[in-house]
Structure 1
Amino acid sequence: MWCRLQTIIIPMILFGLSVPSVEGLGFSSFGKANTDPPEPPKPTAPPAPPCSRQAQCAGISGTSCVRTHYDATTRCLCGDNLPPVNGQCDGTQNKNLYHACSNSDECNDGLICGAPNITNNAPYLRVYQPTDKICLCDAENGYREREHTCSDADILKTSIFAIVVVACIRKFLVY
């Protein structure tokens, strides 16, 4: 059986390796030569303006003075951490961590609207006043801040523990 497979498979592999490639001949998969000129590069959105205080973003509707994990500069960003387009943000999105808010309904899941703890050494929180309210991790429900995001690792650990306990009880009851 193995010898038969070898006599069929080996010639097929060798034939596949010996067929010249047609990529350089200008053929597409539909048999049409690619003669279209390359498209010009699309303009990229300008970066959001830098800021050092939340008040500097007041002129750009829907923005907050925040620092993200991918940019060391605090900027006036929309709630989804993207720069405003034509000086405006899409008002329908919820806000990410550290964005200014007036109530928790404006914040993403796992976040609540509260006063920032500006007494710690986090430079990204120094842009706020003690009276400002921002979206923060909902610590009461198990969300913890880590690298500019909120993690629900405590909830996940509890869930895994519960699954293991239930599985052990079920296994015990079966025997």
Structure 2
Amino acid sequence: MRVLWKIEMWCRKQAAAAILPLLLVGWLTGESSQALTTFGKSNTQPPKEVAPTAPPARPCSRQAECAGISSSSCVRTHYDSVTRCLCGDNSPPLNGQCEAQSKLLYHVCANSDECNDGLVCGAPNITGNAQPHLRVLTPQDKICLCDTESGYREREYTCSDAEILKTSIFAIIFVTSLRKILFY
């Protein structure tokens, strides 16, 4: 009888160990409730209409080439190897206009109020060994840069974010606690 109980407990732990990563991934992506309710069901919903994608913004090699599009900057993003005239939120202008109120990394600015949180308006370091995406600027241009005084660091066209770090630490603590509860 005791052997059967041990086998049953072992099976439960194995099942929990198999389901836990799926739940965790669903929770982190924000789709856990949908994943749990649709598991094993066939898709009977009609396909969703796909919105047309905006045409890509025009390429540029100098900031001055974007002067005709208000609130745009000649920037390069992590998902495109070409510098383009993009709005402050890295979206292409619609009908030559930008609606974005605040600006992301590398966008031309007049003061820090125009930049998103974690960014400050400052002069870029354009020296002989400057990165290619900064060579579109002149030494007089000011752009949104990572606020290094507040602990933000640039990495792959974004600034480090304390919220992501907090979420990662929370997830590690949560998984560790859950493992202790399930396996001990």
Q: For this structure pair, what is the TM-score category when the shorter chain's length is used for normalisation?
A: 0.5 to 0.7
Question: In structure 1, what is the Cα distance between the partners aligned to 2:140 and 2:125?
Answer: 11
Q: CA deviation at 1:54?
A: 0.2
Q: Which residue of 2 aligns with 1:128?
A: 137
Structure ranking higher in helix proportion? 2
Residues 111 and 39 (structure 1), Cα distance of their counterparts in 2 relative to 1, 3 Å cut: closer
**Which AA in structure 2 matches 1:151?**
S
Question: In structure 2, what is the Cα distance between the partners aligned to 1:41 and 1:150?
Answer: 31
Question: In structure 2, what is the Cα distance between the partners aligned to 1:65 and 1:71?
Answer: 13
Q: 1:66 and 2:101 equivalent?
A: no
Residues 142 and 60 (structure 1), Cα distance of their counterparts in 2 relative to 1, 3 Å cut: same
TM-score by length of 1: 0.64
Query: What are structure 1's unaligned runs of at least 5 residues?
Result: 1-22, 161-175
Q: 1:54 and 2:70 equivalent?
A: no
Deviations 1:113-157 (A, max 9, x none): 00011113300000000010000001111111000001146xx69
Aligned residues with identical type, % of pairs: 74
Q: 1:113 and 2:121 equivalent?
A: yes
Larger radius of gyration: 1
User: What SS does structure 2 have at the residue aligned with 1:70?
Assistant: coil
Question: In structure 2, what is the Cα distance between the partners aligned to 1:40 and 1:143?
Answer: 39
Deviations 1:19-39 (A, max 9, x none): xxxx8xxxx68xxxx8xxx89
User: What SS does structure 2 have at the residue aligned with 1:112?
Assistant: strand
Please provide the CA RMSD for this pair: 3.1
How many residue pairs were aligned?
127
**Which AA in structure 1 matches 2:70?**
S
**Which AA in structure 1 matches 2:102?**
N
TM-score by length of 2: 0.61
Q: Which residue of 2 aligns with 1:3?
A: none
Q: 1:142 and 2:120 equivalent?
A: no
Q: Which residue of 2 aligns with 1:151?
A: 160
Question: In structure 2, what is the Cα distance between the partners aligned to 1:41 and 1:102?
Answer: 37
Question: In structure 2, what is the Cα distance between the partners aligned to 1:108 and 1:42?
Answer: 27
Deviations 1:46-88 (A, max 9, x none): 1000000000000011100000000000000000000001110
Q: CA deviation at 1:45?
A: 1.2
Residues 39 and 143 (structure 1), Cα distance of their counterparts in 2 relative to 1, 3 Å cut: closer
**Which AA in structure 2 matches 1:110?**
G
Q: CA deviation at 1:42?
A: 4.2
